[in-house]
Amino acid sequence: MFKWFNIKSDKINDYDNIKSDKINDYDNIKSDKINDYDNIKSDKINDYDNIKSDKINDYDNIIFFFFEGESSTHYAYEYPLYVIIGKKGCYPSY
């Protein structure tokens, strides 16, 4: 990518080798504040590859509960209750 200078700064759009968590640099930075889907370790973004977290949408250990019947606006089975079995306990859907 074209670069004007070789300055070291985290305040410009230099997408090569700078170390910053304030811009969208998807290459080599170490940050949990941007959408870097490669190798960062964070439970605060939607990184479905290598992060260690039980707070994202991990659909491996979800138990669904379906109920029969209907209300005045929706069928009950359209919005099932589910429980995520995570490392720190259960997370209900409501």
Q: Which residues pair with 63 in a beta bridge?
A: 83
Per the listing, tokens 């995520």 go with 84
The pair of three-digit structure tokens given for residue 88, joined into one six-digit string: 């720190």
Query: Tens of pLDDT along 2-41?
Result: 445 555 555 555 555 555 555 554 555 555 555 545 544 5
pLDDT value of residue 63: 56
Stated pTM of the model = 0.15
The pair of three-digit structure tokens given for residue 49, joined into one six-digit string: 């590859």
Q: Tell me: do 71 and 43 sit in the same domain.
A: no
For residue 81, the enclosing domain spans 62-92
Q: Tell me: do 35 and 81 sit in the same domain.
A: no
**Helix or strand or coil: residue 63?**
strand
Amino acid at 82: Y
pLDDT value of residue 23: 52
Count of domains for the chain = 2
Cα torsion at 22, 28, 33, 38 (round to 10°)?
150
Residue 77 has pLDDT above 50, yes or no: no
pLDDT band at residue 47 under the 50/70/90 scheme: very low
Q: Tell me: do 17 and 48 sit in the same domain.
A: yes
pLDDT band at residue 73 under the 50/70/90 scheme: low
Q: Tell me: do 5 and 42 sit in the same domain.
A: yes
Q: Tell me: do 66 and 49 sit in the same domain.
A: no
Task: Give Cβ neighbours of residue 61 (< 8 Å, ≥ 6 apart).
Answer: 84, 85, 86
